[in-house]
Structure 1
Amino acid sequence: MKKWIYSLAFGAFGIITTEFGVIGILPVLAKEFNVSIDTAGWLLSAFALTVAVSSPFITAFTAKINRKLLMCLVLGAFVLSNLLSAFSPNFTVLMIARVLPAFLHPLFWNISLAIAFKEGGAKAVSTVMTGLSIATVLGVPITTYAAEYFNNWQASFFLSSVISLIAFLGLLFFVPSLPAEKGQESQGQSHVLKNPQLWLNLLSTILTLAAMFSSYGYLAAYLEKVSHMNGAQISMMLLLFGGMGILGNWIAGIALSKNIKLSARSFFVLLIGIQLLAYFFGSIFIPMVIILSLWGLVHTGGFLVPNIRTTRNIPHNALEFVNSLLTSSYNIGISLGATLGGIVIARYGVQAVVWMSIALLALTFGISFISLERKESETTEKEAADEVENPVMIME
């Protein structure tokens, strides 16, 4: 594998840190710009919704442009957007600064994963996706800590900008020129779209991510209002959550490799149980620390379960196409979850937000017992498990 693939992995870390980094400082931004916490939540949901809408189209519109140039453009846009966010005079400007780079967000994934597979196969793809997995569990606590350490919410965006700048320089100086290849239409796409199980899996993916982010998107606010933690304690709790998430990602991969259906259903049940505990014991400091550890441990399974469940029976020549649909589904789910969570908070308060997550998890758990797969496309659990040998590479 070529060493410059690590530059792509760091780029992945940068753009995901920008996407999720606002989660830890939503309460601070709500106070700074005098908006409600549910309105501040649109900084996450609007970003995700923009990615979901642009994902199926943006790569096709730029098919003839040098791939290195495009990836540098994406990271450059993220550097500038974070700087604009840091100097935003009002909430409207901050929202614009968040949404504009989101249109380019899918470009990086579509290009970097395709290039990585071409240059180094599954190992290279796994390396790039490692940047994503680390960002999803560490991006939030480090940006939250930056804001707390400097006692300034702007520090969070400055840190995200520096990360994206380092990734930009890595691409610029270490990645060779990558001329665009003549486009070739994917075969088997129309056949895949006729499979009703695919659409059921995509719906389940949306609901799963909506369930996760309806509560996780407001975790900092929950810890502040319900658990009565200060900024430093919240930063430590988010770091604990992320650290346990890394362990949980590894455990989920092992479990899914043995039995996909059982592991998926166990994920839903466990996350429901943990959020019930958060509702009843979230106001007590020590129990909440333990609950957060378990929450982080289980939470990352929600990134793996939908991907493995959806892609296990997809022909190889249609995997890239299906992954693009999954990218949209993930971000639709994130946006939907943040929106629904905000509505619950506005009407019933922060503590009640877990009930929205529980309801969505219960619905998705019920859907897991529905199968629309055709007999000719069915695979055994053993065959499906083989697809999970390297779970990180199909994380998004």
Structure 2
Amino acid sequence: MPLALLALAIGAFGIGTTEFVIMGLLPQVARTFDVTVPTAGLLTTGYALGVVVGAPLLAVLGTRIPRKRMLMLLMGLFVLGNLITAAAPTFGVALAGRITASLAHGAFFGIGSIVAADLVAPQKKAGAIAMMFTGLTVANVVGVPLGTMIGQQIGWRITFLLVAALGVLGLAGIGALVPAARPHLTGSGTAGGTGAVGLRRELAAFRNVQVVLAMLMTVLGFGGVFAAITYIAPMMTDAAGYAEGSVTWLLVLFGLGMVAGNLIGGRYADRRLMPMLFVTLAGLATVLAAFSFTAHSKPLAAVTIPLIGALGFATVPPLQKRVLDQTGDAPTLASAVNIGAFNLGNALAAWLGGLVLGAGYGPTTPNWIGAALAASALALAVLSAALERRSPAAAAAERQETRTPVHAGA
């Protein structure tokens, strides 16, 4: 694999760490700013919403700027946001820092996926995307637990300073290792037309029903994972009987599952993408349903949690590659929006899980929500494959439409 993928993975590691480490530091942050823990939780909510909003906005900018330069700008924005959070004198400033950092998230993974895929042969694209996402999954195994420990023992501000340093390392690596992008007809200025033409071509990708179906699969499939994982702490303490301190190590198991699933998904998606989605989504729905029962047993829960992480993240490289495959020469906006779709699914699943818990149902009920979401994603995958088999010529025409230049004045 090219060394440039390592630079992308380092950036992904920093982004993954800052996204999730805040969950273990909310009590410390709340004490610093004299706010309640639910109020401090806005640092998580604000980040997620920033990803959803920032992904398309900055991806539009990315259609006008060469991809390498755009990735460096995004890492610079990420560093700035974490420095603002680390130095924040008030809670409002800390929230502004979190949102600033989150704006880079979706566009970085979206544009980074395109760059990673361009670095390798066509038959290795999903594996290259998975290699970049390895940084995100490893963050859950190493970065988040280590950042949480540092924040609890030394101070949460130090954690965010160290995350900012990771961003600087990622920025330097991208600058040194990522090659200049080949000219692409997206209005970036590197070749072929104006920014308006490039943006129209990028927007045209959303008329492809396969792109829309892939994004809906992203929302529902990964949303199923977060329906369970968002409420893992009360589930494990109330249902399984684990001590609160054990939850961190259970999340490490979840992270290890994510690492394995990401690499497996990337490898097999390059061989048979849609069958890979069928297997992983069906497995995810089954395991989430089973977790409603295994969550009452310590050893069974410890086995089920990494399986959820593995099956859930095994869908990420194939779904991201699916979007790239269907958007032809105009992948930037759709790729970034698909990253935002992961966070939209997280927010939707957390909200639905909170509804059933608030209604007085048992602590394992969110698992049924997750199973239903994953099963819905599987149904969409079957529909997507059926539509492609029924009309391969129409699918090819849709992909060609995104490749055909849109003339200014047309």
Measured after TM superposition, the shift of residue 335 of structure 1 is 2.8
Q: Quick check: 117-126 or 348-357, which moved more?
A: 117-126
Question: Unpaired runs of 5+ in structure 2?
Answer: 182-187, 396-410
Please list, as runs of the form range in 1=range in 2, the aligned pairs for 1:224-373 lying within 5 A after superposition.
224-230=237-243, 232-253=245-266, 256=269, 260-312=273-325, 314=326, 316-348=328-360, 350-370=363-383, 371-373=386-388
Q: Quick check: 184-193 or 156-165, which moved more?
A: 184-193
Measured after TM superposition, the shift of residue 289 of structure 1 is 1.2
The secondary structure found in structure 1 opposite 2:37 is coil
The secondary structure found in structure 1 opposite 2:364 is helix
Please list, as runs of the form range in 1=range in 2, the aligned pairs for 1:1-396 lying within 5 A after superposition.
3=3, 6-23=6-23, 25=25, 33-36=35-38, 43-61=43-61, 70-86=70-86, 92-109=92-109, 111-113=111-113, 130-139=131-140, 141-148=142-149, 151-152=152-153, 154=156, 156-171=159-174, 181-182=190-191, 184=193, 185-186=197-198, 192-230=205-243, 232-253=245-266, 256=269, 260-312=273-325, 314=326, 316-348=328-360, 350-370=363-383, 371-373=386-388, 375-377=391-393
Distance 1:241 1:57 in 2: 32
Distance 1:295 1:111 in 2: 27
Q: Quick check: 328-337 or 176-185, which moved more?
A: 176-185
In structure 2, the CA distance between the partners of 1:280 and 1:108, relative to structure 1 (3 Å rule), is: closer
Measured after TM superposition, the shift of residue 126 of structure 1 is 5.5
Measured after TM superposition, the shift of residue 165 of structure 1 is 3.1
In structure 2, the CA distance between the partners of 1:288 and 1:21, relative to structure 1 (3 Å rule), is: same
Matched-pair contact (CA < 8 Å) for 1:21–1:143: yes
Distance 1:375 1:110 in 2: 28
* % same residue: 25
In structure 2, the CA distance between the partners of 1:341 and 1:64, relative to structure 1 (3 Å rule), is: same
Matched-pair contact (CA < 8 Å) for 1:9–1:127: no
Distance 2:64 2:394 in 1: 38
Measured after TM superposition, the shift of residue 34 of structure 1 is 2.3
- Structure 2 counterpart of 1:209, one-letter code: F
Q: Quick check: 176-185 or 4-13, which moved more?
A: 176-185
Q: Could you list the per-position Cα deviations for residues 6-59 of structure 1 after superposition, in whole angstroms to 9, with x for gaps in the alignment?
A: 3333123222322233355568767984234xx766544432332222323324
The secondary structure found in structure 2 opposite 1:317 is coil
In structure 2, the CA distance between the partners of 1:97 and 1:136, relative to structure 1 (3 Å rule), is: same
Q: Quick check: 126-135 or 351-360, which moved more?
A: 126-135
Distance 2:24 2:285 in 1: 22
Measured after TM superposition, the shift of residue 216 of structure 1 is 2.3
Question: Unpaired runs of 5+ in structure 1?
Answer: 380-396
Distance 1:45 1:252 in 2: 28
The secondary structure found in structure 2 opposite 1:306 is helix
Matched-pair contact (CA < 8 Å) for 1:8–1:171: yes
In structure 2, the CA distance between the partners of 1:142 and 1:220, relative to structure 1 (3 Å rule), is: farther
- Structure 2 counterpart of 1:97, one-letter code: G
TM-score, normalization by structure 2: 0.73
In structure 2, the CA distance between the partners of 1:133 and 1:180, relative to structure 1 (3 Å rule), is: farther
- Structure 1 counterpart of 2:49, one-letter code: L
In structure 2, the CA distance between the partners of 1:119 and 1:18, relative to structure 1 (3 Å rule), is: same
Distance 1:369 1:57 in 2: 31
Measured after TM superposition, the shift of residue 220 of structure 1 is 4.3
Distance 2:2 2:269 in 1: 30
Matched-pair contact (CA < 8 Å) for 1:143–1:159: no
Measured after TM superposition, the shift of residue 288 of structure 1 is 1.6
Matched-pair contact (CA < 8 Å) for 1:68–1:175: yes
Measured after TM superposition, the shift of residue 298 of structure 1 is 1.8
Matched-pair contact (CA < 8 Å) for 2:63–2:332: no
Matched-pair contact (CA < 8 Å) for 2:56–2:336: yes
- Structure 2 counterpart of 1:358, one-letter code: A
